[in-house]
Amino acid sequence: MPHSCSVLSCGNRFTVECRARGITFHRFPKNEVMRRKWERAVRRKGFTASSSSMLCSEHFRAEDFDRTGQTVRLREGTVPISRFKVPPKKGSLKPAATRMSRTSTKAREALPPPAVQSVPAVVPPVVPTVVPTVDHAYASTPEELRIKLSEALARVESLEREKRNAKDRERRARNTVSCLLEDLEVKKIMNEELKERLDIYADLPVHLLSKNSHEYTKEQRDFASTLHFHGPKAYDYLRECLHINLPHPNTLQRWMSSGEVKPVLNMTTLDSRGEEDDPAKYLGGLAAVQENMDLSQVNELPYEDFVKIFGNVVERCPIVAAAVCSQRPFADIDAFEATICDFIDALSEAGKEGILRCHPDLMGTLTQESVNEQANAGFGTLSSEEQASLSSWNEEYKERFGFPFIVCTGASDKAGVLQEMRVRMANGCTEERACAIEEVKKICRLRLRDLVHPDSKFEF
């Protein structure tokens, strides 16, 4: 992009030195009629002004400027002076030819030599030289000051150029991020949770979409893990379709296993997988395997298969399986179970309540695992009176505590479950939340032993 005067014979450029001399620069007007007048005044054959073409103030009259404000402006309807000094073309000026005929040679020889007038020499008076004395060691000569000023002006010009380039890069980066977000929304793979999580990275678009070295920055790692954790479809789309420089999911798992990144899990994420979801999505578990697996098989499962098989050991919370997948290999089934329990215990109270809300009501819309467990406890043979009573107890419990009644039906029977519900209704909210979390862990323990051989070990 040019930063100099458009007149060929003018050497003024848009620099600090020119502005220090009081020279201002003015872009060609947007009005077509005025723009044509300016172009004709420049008197350059075939010249057409661009949006960045400029003329300096030396090509206008003094009365053409409005200097009343802080910015020097041209008055409306001003046209530049058309009488510019056009530089001579190369080779256009030739020295006058000397005549070499016989007559002209004799005439030059006959001319007397020019008289030299003797002018008396004027001897200037002798003035004593005054040598300035420098009282201070830090005093500078005018030449040194001139050099320092030139260096300072050059530095200012360089910084201003860097500032312009940085603004251009920022504008391009923001436009790129805006287009990406709009594209995700159009394709309906940008949910509210993902929007909320990505808002904190809105001011880091350049660093998040480029890899300047062999290592990812902390902001890049946090962004990638958050995006993949809350929006895996959006992650795959940006990485595979738009070729955004995002790490491979296996790399994310390695970061999580080493503790370099830790995705945030909150109640909104867990609650979004509640009763409105299709239970068929959580039929992984028992429907995915026909017999108990060995720990070696569990530790070697691909990420997607691991989440599919163990996604319902915590009811309707495959996100828990996704989080503990990176903690492999597990030495035995107890270590597997302890990893899940530690993850649940590390959640905030809101996160734990989100897990509880993911559970269905007793005899509600159940996953296959819940159907089998409640059938073994005798809930498939409830009378109409028992169903009405259970429904009433469920509503009262939810109104009191804010989440469904949760009990490990696989370790009890129908009478024991109904009796425990009556007893736990007297608990306080904090006490009952802790009690319900323990029941979630019991359910997880039984479901793990249905999927993994309880005696299998893994040799490191």
Q: How many angstroms separate the CA atoms of 312 and 288, rounded?
A: 11
Decide: helix, strand or coil at residue 177. Answer: helix
Tell me what the mean pLDDT of segment 446-454 comes to.
90
CA dihedral of residues 413, 309, 226, 357 (deg, nearest 10):
-20
Residue 66: per-residue pLDDT:
87
The SS3 of residue 136 is coil
- Alpha-carbon distance of 268 to 354, in angstroms, equals 7
- The confidence score (pLDDT) of residue 182 equals 66
Please check whether residue 265 is in contact with residue 347, taking contact to mean a CB–CB distance below 8 angstroms.
yes
Residue whose tokens read 């929006």: 231
Closest by Cα among 397, 404, 317, 408 to 360: 404
Distance CA 244, CA 184 (A): 13
Examine the pLDDT at 156 and tell me if it is beyond 60.
yes
Instruction: Report the pLDDT averaged over residues 27-45.
Output: 88
359 is catalytic: yes
Query: What local confidence, expressed as pLDDT, does residue 109 receive?
Result: 60
Question: What does the alpha-carbon distance between residue 117 and residue 106 come to, in Å, rounded to a whole number?
Answer: 26
294-337: pLDDT as tens digits: 989 999 999 888 988 998 999 988 888 888 888 899 999 999 99
Distance CA 234, CA 264 (A): 17
DSSP string, 72-112: -EEPTT----S---PPPPTT---PPPPP--HHHHHHHHHSP
Task: Name the β-bridge partners of 73.
Answer: 66
Of 65, 41, 71, 68, nearest to 53 by C-alpha is 41
pLDDT value, residue 333: 92
Contacts of 52 (CB under 8 A, 6+ apart): 1, 2, 3, 27
Amino acid identity at 59: H
Please compute the mean of the pLDDT values over residues 24-53 and round it to a whole number.
Answer: 88
> What does the alpha-carbon distance between residue 397 and residue 365 come to, in Å, rounded to a whole number?
17
> Quick one: pLDDT at residue 283?
41
Percent of the chain with pLDDT over 70: 67
DSSP H or E run through 65: strand 65-66
pLDDT at residue number 216: 77
* pLDDT given for residue 336 in this prediction: 94
Q: Are strands 65-66 and 54-56 parallel, antiparallel or unpaired?
A: unpaired
Q: Which of 59, 228, 230, 359 is catalytic?
A: 359
Each residue's pLDDT tens digit, 392-412: 888 999 999 999 999 998 888
Residue 353 pLDDT exceeds 70: yes
Identify whether the C-beta of residue 348 lies closer than 8 Å to the C-beta of residue 270: no
Burial of 339 (0-12, 13-18, 19+ CB in 10 A): middle
What the chain holds in terms of domains, given with CATH numbers, is 1-86 (no CATH), 168-264 (no CATH), 273-451 (1.10.3330.10)
Query: Identity (one letter) of the amino acid at 414?
Result: K
Return the half-sphere exposure (C-beta side, CA atoms, 13 A cut-off) of residue 168.
7
Which of the residue ranges 163-172, 223-232, 239-248, 412-421 has the most confident prediction, judged by mean pLDDT?
A: 412-421
| Whether pLDDT at 198 is above 50 | yes
360/409 Cα distance (integer angstroms): 13
pLDDT of res. 231: 67
Q: pLDDT for 243-292, tens place per residue? A: 677 888 777 766 765 666 655 554 444 444 444 444 444 444 444 444 57
Q: Residue 184, exposed/middle/buried by CB under 10 A (0-12, 13-18, 19+)?
A: buried
Quick count: other Cβ atoms within 10 Å of Cβ 87? 11
Distance CA 14, CA 4 (A): 6
CA distance 288 to 369: 12
Band (pLDDT 50/70/90 cuts) for residue 163 is confident
